[in-house]
Amino acid sequence: MAALPDFQLLHPATASDAIRMRALHPGSRYLAGGTDLLPNMRRGLVATEVVIDLGGVDELTDLHEESSALYIGAGVTLAVIAANRTVQDRLPALAQAASGVAGPTHRVSATLGGNLCLETRCRFYNQSESWREANAFCLKLGSDTCRVATKSPRCYAAFSGDIAPALMVLDAKVEVLGPLGTRVLPISDFYRDDGITWLAMTPDELLVAVRVPLKTGWASAYEKVRVRGAMDFPLAGVAVALRRENNTIADLRIALTGVSSRPEFVNGLDALAGHPLDDTALAIITRRIKLGIKAMETTLIEVPFRRRITPVLAKRMVERLWEMVSTSLS
C-alpha cells in the first residue's frame, strides 16, 4: 500500500483555531480518528496539502447531560458513546449503532464527527489507484462518467455511516461552527442527496457536537445487514424509534442508511399515529420504506437484496419494539 502523500500537519488547540486554520487553507482536511480519512488518503482518494488534526481540541470531547438532552462532542469516540450509561439506558438505538461500527479497535479512535461526515462509498471508488485507473476513473474522481449509472449526471455513492440514522429517529440536532458563529440544524438537514457533496456543511465549517433529546416513553433500536458479521459497513441499516399508547402507535420514526447517498428519514409515517400495529400499518411501513430506498449498484451485493431486506428488517424491529413497550407498560 502506498505511503501517504506529503502534507503539512496542524494541531489546533480549540475549535475556533481549527476553523481559522481552515480559512487559511481552504483545501485542507480535518483529521479525527483517521479510520476513514487515512486509508482513503493512502488509496489516493483524498489529496490535500494540509491536514488539521482535531485530536488536541479538548472541547470536542465534551460529553454531558443537560436538563433534557445529551450533549455529545464531535470528538467523542464511538467506544465511549457505546459504553455510556445514559446512551445505553435512554438512547438504545445510538448505543447499538455505535457498537456496530467497524471493529473494536477502530471504535477506540473513531469519533462521532468522523462517522457523521464519513465519505460516501462505492465499489468503483473504494479501490486502489491502479484499479480505478484501469477503469478510467469515474465522476466522483473528476472523470465524466459514472460507472454505476453510465448516463447519470450525478454520483450515487452510498452513505454508509451507522450513527446518522439512529440520531435521526432520536430527533438529534447538530451544532456546526463557522467563521460567522454557530448554527444548529436538525440532523436530516445536515445531508444532501448527492454522492459527491453529501454534507450540507460549507468547507469553512466544523461539526462541533450533537444534542440528543432525552425523551420518555420511547423505545428505539438500530440494526444492520452486512457481508461480514464481525466488522463491515452496512449493506442496509435501519433505525427505529417508537412510542406506543395502549394499543395504538403514538409516534413512529424510521431512518435508513447504506441505501442512498444520504441517510434517509422515512417520510409519511405520521399518518400511522392513532392506528394499531396491524397488517395495514405494516404494509404502509413497507411501502414508505421502499420509497426511501435509492440503492444503486454501489456494493458487490446486488440491489434487489438490499431493497428487499430493508423493509423486512424494519418490520421485525418495529414488531419487537412494539412488544417490548407493551411488556414495560404492564
- Name the binder of 230 from ligand SF4, other proteins, ligand FAD, none, CB < 5-8 A by kind: other proteins
Shortest gap between Cβ of 265 and ligand SF4 (angstroms)? 22
6 binds other proteins (CB under 8 A): yes
Decide: is 21 part of the binding site for other proteins (CB under 8 A): yes
The residue (of 99 and 260) whose beta carbon lies closer to ligand SF4 is 260
Q: Which does 138 bind (CB under 5 to 8 A by kind): other proteins, ligand SF4, ligand FAD, none?
A: ligand SF4
Nearest to 190 by CA among 110, 115, 241: 115
Q: Which of 63, 85, 82 is nearest to 73 (CA)?
A: 63
d(CA 326, CA 330): 6
Provide DSSP, 76-121.
-BHHHHHH-HHHHHH-HHHHHHHHTSS-HHHHHH-BHHHHHT---B
**12 touches which of ligand SF4, other proteins, ligand FAD, none (CB within 5 to 8 A by kind)?**
other proteins
Beta bridge partners of 222: 239
Residue 122 binding target from ligand SF4, ligand FAD, other proteins, none, CB below 5 to 8 Å by type: ligand SF4
What is the footprint of other proteins within residues 38-67 (CB under 8 A)? Answer: 38-39, 42-43, 49-51, 53, 55
Rounded to whole angstroms, the Cα distance separating 86 from 92 reads 9
Q: Which lies closer to ligand SF4 via its Cβ, residue 63 or residue 296? A: 296
Of the candidates 77, 18, 21, 29, the residue with the CA atom closest to the CA atom of residue 51: 29
The residue of the chain with the least Cβ separation from ligand FAD equals 114
Compare residues 55 and 284 and give the one whose CB is closer to ligand FAD. 55
Nearest CA to 196 among 127, 115, 257, 261?
A: 261
Question: Mapping DSSP to helix (H, G, I), strand (E, B) and coil, where does residue 173 land?
Answer: strand
Give the integer Cα–Cα distance in Å for 141 and 123.
13
Residues lying near ligand FAD in the complex (CB under 6 A) are found at 29-37, 39, 54, 74, 78, 101-102, 106, 110-111, 113-115, 117-119, 161-162, 206-207, 231-233
Kindly tell me which residue out of 61, 128, 152, 286 binds other proteins, with binding defined by CB under 8 A: 128
Select 23 or 184, whichever has its Cβ closest to other proteins: 23
Closer CB to ligand FAD, residue 92 or residue 258? Answer: 258
Instruction: Indicate the residue among 32 and 210 with the shorter CB distance to other proteins.
Output: 32
Q: CA 117 to CA 75: how far, in whole Å? A: 12
